[in-house]
Structure 1
Amino acid sequence: MDSDVSVLLHCSAWGGLVEAQVNVELSARFNRQTDPELEHHIEEVWTEWLTREPWLFNGAKFRLHSFSLTSASLPCMDGAGDRAESTRGIHEATEDEGLQKESGIDESGRAEVLKHQPHEIAKIIHEQQHDVSLKSYYKEVGSLRDTQTSTLGRELPLSRSEAETRPLGEVGGPTPVLTLRLGLTCYRDFLGTNWSQSSAELRRRGEAEFGDPLALLAQPLGVGGVLCTSDRKVVLIRRSQKVAEARGLLDIPGGHPEPKAVCEGLGGDVREDRLRVEMLQQREEAVVRELFSSVCAEIRDEVNVPLKSLGKPVLMGVALNHTSAGRPSAEFYISCSLTSAEVQHLYWQGGVEAHESTDIVFLRETEVLRLDQSSPLWSELCPSAKGAVLLYQLVLSDREDTTRQTPDNSPGKMSR
């Protein structure tokens, strides 16, 4: 297992989760712990960063504290932070009787499941118009809570063709099975904790003082998208040399869900530094919506792909980046109605965040399923991309490649 990354939870029992299968619980109890000494350290680190990069902005982020995963067929699995002795370990589920661990996952993983069960990927939306409005996007394709179907309870698996062509709404509505427990944090706190040279010491202090090595860390929840084109290729972008992390490495489109966006979407107007958890409580559906829609917004801004060409995000799970002290990222699968050639053309036209990457490459889905540490390409992937690949292999490993291979697109070759 690559020491840069591990899987916190995966949703292979459901073939991934749609928006209606995810809940959030918001509370100030899920914020990081602190003391005057740590706050002074964070302020010093932030001042140093601003001296070097005065354009930095301290935006509010959601902090992932823990999660619970339940269903009618699986026992409740409840995770509350990374409490294992290893820096890569995950605190075990409270109930794991009868569960068999799958290979490729930390032995102490909290969200292991028995096997792959049937799944549906949302139908591809065959509209190729540019649309910069997320509100318009949801107006056009509808709320996931209203239209996305679930495969829970089905006895027979769906084939790929059935999954993509079966009319939505034929099966009963999905049941929430995952609850993410969220607090608030910010970019400044991330730089002063997870990304700080003192992160190892903070983990030791957290374990000693609170019984949780992550208690003093910001742990901002990121999002990433495995974007698959209509000709069955996965989109990767090469990170710019000017970004803070993983310079020059291959990544998937991604970023962070924004608490401020939730407030603005509900008609509020509040400064980032004045956001409080209490403002978001009783607005859990809006927070879940932001979690799922933010990955689409990142794809639009980084790859310049119109929202109307994107299918509905399917949550594969959460991966941990151990180069930043175990920072979590929710990884999604998103289908696209455009071909790789069309996506490439749009990318080179330039999007809102075009400055964050310098190139776009494509890998066949079958090649992504075979990637591992022995693959030459693995060393070119940044930790977030590695985590997404691991989750893709766990959750969607039954996807069949029906595309005819040619010398130019055979496995092992990246197309540009």
Structure 2
Amino acid sequence: MSQLQSLRGMVDLLPEQTRRWQAVEAVARDHFRRAGVEEIRTPLLEVTDLFARGIGEGTDVVGKEMYSFLDRGERSCTLRPEGTASVVRAAVQHGLLSQGAQKLWYTGPMFRYERPQAGRQRQFHQIGVECIGVSSARSDVEAIALAWDLLAALGVQGLELEINSLGTPEDRQHYRAQLVAWLQERQDQLDADSQERLSTNPLRILDSKNKATQALLADAPTLLEALSPESAQRFEQVQALLGQLAIPFRVNTRLVRGLDYYGHTAFEITSDQLGAQSTVCGGGRYDGLVEQLGGAATPAIGWALGMERLLLVLEAAAKANPEGPAAQLTAPTPPTVYLVNRGEAAEAAALGLARNLRQAGLAVELDGSGAAFGKQFKRADRCGAPWALVLGDGEVEQGQVRLKALRGDADEQTLAWADPTTDLPLLLNALQQR
């Protein structure tokens, strides 16, 4: 019988990787707590119409990449390809917006049928923030600062913020007409994907990765030139506030987001930690989305970062600076004690001793191999524990356990432990003082 394998683009997270993910999530959770951002959890599966209406039927995500199927009730369902639409749907459905502005964050898997590559799989994971019910330029900058400071706290180096304004729907419509007219005169110079987008979603051509198309676009009209005076003034306020916070940025007039709901401020945060600039976070303002999904007209801004790409960046940062925060974050957390034990009586006693120490708050790894003491000590040393407790049948008979330092040159001690009500506190005290 052939061995079963995971589907292409669906990747297992093994214990070492999971530990790193948990460390990132813990930093993010504390970061958001201090900013008054509350967690929300939404289903993996939604009605397809949520994303068709929210993301836009002309986008690559909806047109080519979604995992959609009919359920037993003949309803079209989709595994969520992004988090924003689900969060907005939940906020509308449960009346959260009647309680005032909402600052929400989420984490979890998303699904897109695209070519797997380093840092991006068909099942990928995001951490995202949605600030719903806020409209000012200041709220844009607060959202950007949340992302920037989180990445800095994680130890990501070489950060660069790129911003652009997509203006109002009227601004974009005006610009779209200018851009299409300009591109139609040069249609034969566009790559195949861009020629297709010319009639469906021409603004996405600005984000083309084709080098020839990028070179051609250098002379194209820009969205900034099409902004109304009010939109231009708003974008100037965003830049001024970023300057006040000393967050460096670069205006990128070609920056557009791949989802139709964005308007006004759009941004990406990149890092050169992998050698070339690599996007680790992106987002923007989406004032029309709540109304598109059945709620009242409500301003909002949000962003998301990809966990797979972020972990690659953190691994590179840890190698570049072994003493830096990224290295500390991705380093394993060793147990306080490794319990070496051998012999019939010792193995039975070690089980109870490990349990008592764990209940008292210590991290204890119990060796269950029954191997020779020498092999167990090698494993104890590899796991990084600073201390080993050694329990053999002789120690059990005498009601004792040996405490041996695995790091440093502290003298070995023999401690009593047989009666947990009287001896365990002494043992704990000896461990915790070292």
| Max Rg structure | 2
Both structures adopt the same fold (TM-score exceeding 0.5):
no
TM-score normalised according to structure 1 size: 0.24
More helix, by proportion: 2
Normalized against structure 2, the TM-score is what?
Answer: 0.23
Q: Which has the higher contact order (CA 8 A, sep 6+)?
A: 1
